[in-house]
Amino acid sequence: MLLNLPDFGRRLLRLPSRAEEVGSLEVNMFSLNRKYDQLPRATGRRSFLIGAGAAAAGLAYAYLHRSEPAHAAAPTADLPNKVSIVEFSDSGQRKTLVCVATVIKTEDEWRKQLSPDSFEVTRHAATERPYTNENPNEHANGVFRCICCDTALFDSRTKFESGTGWPSFWAPIAEENILETTDNSFGMARTAVSCRRCDAHLGHVFDDGPPPTGLRYCMNSVAMRFARGS
Ligand SMILES: [Zn+2]
């Protein structure tokens, strides 16, 4: 395995405060996989949060069906001029660390380039409806790349069945290629994940994933394209 784990995952994980933990659990609960549902948490609280989780699922579902999208992503204007990212082949072979110009476009330019769903998710931090796309079931050898700028984001070898209807991974392909920021939208403390090069919103990361990292990168499939490896 090319990834340096589990230290890699631990570095990325922001341990939440108790309040944040409750907040993230509310978001997670509809998606907890029985297989990984063995973390040392109070049963009572977990049961209590099932209702909240169902509400969160409804909220997530509603994002793409509102006339106005949710705005939670950091503004693109905050992007530096250049970033260092790691290049990968479609087979997931790590190449070199390269310094590249960030990709900054206007709303209209993004709208022309992307499908309506991809546009709302990546540029306005919307959440797609679960079980709506094909690549959550994609387990062939390959790399998931940013739909906006083609940066490699996740290797299919880190993909796992989360039972959420969203493609889920236990690690990004390279720490350099993504950015994690605090997202306090909708009264919940979550960690948003975006593309380092173009600021595309991708999804969120939670701490209820499987070994070896214990992390669950819950991604929107329309934020990525799957590049099949040879
Ligand atoms: Zn990108």
Domain ranges for the chain, please list them: 7-228
Of the chain, the percentage scoring pLDDT greater than 90 comes to 60
Name the residue among 205, 162, 138, 183 with its Cα closest to residue 31: 162
What is this structure's pTM?
A: 0.69
- For all residues of the chain together, what is the average pLDDT? 76
Assign domain 7-228 to a CATH class. mainly beta
Tell me how far the alpha carbon of residue 83 lies from the centroid of ligand 1, in angstroms.
Answer: 12
**In contact, 45 and 70? CB cutoff 8 Å:** no
Q: Give the pLDDT of residue 171.
A: 98
Residue holding tokens 């579902």? 61
Among 8-22, 53-67, 93-107, where is mean pLDDT lowest? 8-22
Q: Strand, coil or helix: what is 174?
A: coil
pLDDT of 34 over the 80 cut: no
Tell me how far the alpha carbon of residue 196 lies from the centroid of ligand 1, in angstroms.
Answer: 7
pLDDT of 33 over the 80 cut: no
Tell me how far the alpha carbon of residue 16 lies from the centroid of ligand 1, in angstroms.
Answer: 27
When pLDDT is cut at 50, 70 and 90, the band that residue 2 belongs to is very low
Tell me how far the alpha carbon of residue 153 lies from the centroid of ligand 1, in angstroms.
Answer: 9
Q: Give the pLDDT of residue 74.
A: 45
pLDDT of 3 over the 80 cut: no
Q: Give the pLDDT of residue 137.
A: 58
Tell me how far the alpha carbon of residue 42 lies from the centroid of ligand 1, in angstroms.
Answer: 38
Comparing 105 with 185, the larger pLDDT belongs to 105
Comparing 98 with 140, the larger pLDDT belongs to 98
Q: Give the pLDDT of residue 60.
A: 45
Q: Which amino acid is at 141?
A: N
Tell me how far the alpha carbon of residue 145 lies from the centroid of ligand 1, in angstroms.
Answer: 8
**In contact, 139 and 218? CB cutoff 8 Å:** no
Residue positions annotated with a catalytic role: 218
**In contact, 13 and 209? CB cutoff 8 Å:** no
pLDDT of 163 over the 50 cut: yes
Q: Strand, coil or helix: what is 13?
A: coil
When pLDDT is cut at 50, 70 and 90, the band that residue 193 belongs to is very high
Tell me how far the alpha carbon of residue 103 lies from the centroid of ligand 1, in angstroms.
Answer: 7
The DSSP code for 128 is P
Tell me how far the alpha carbon of residue 163 lies from the centroid of ligand 1, in angstroms.
Answer: 26
CA-CA distance, 87 to 79, in Å (whole number)? 19
For the ranges 26-30, 31-35, 164-168, 210-214, the maximum mean pLDDT occurs at: 210-214
Q: Which residues pair with 152 in a beta bridge?
A: 145
pLDDT of 46 over the 60 cut: no
The pLDDT tens digits for 200-220 are 999 999 999 999 999 999 999
Residue holding tokens 């994980």? 13
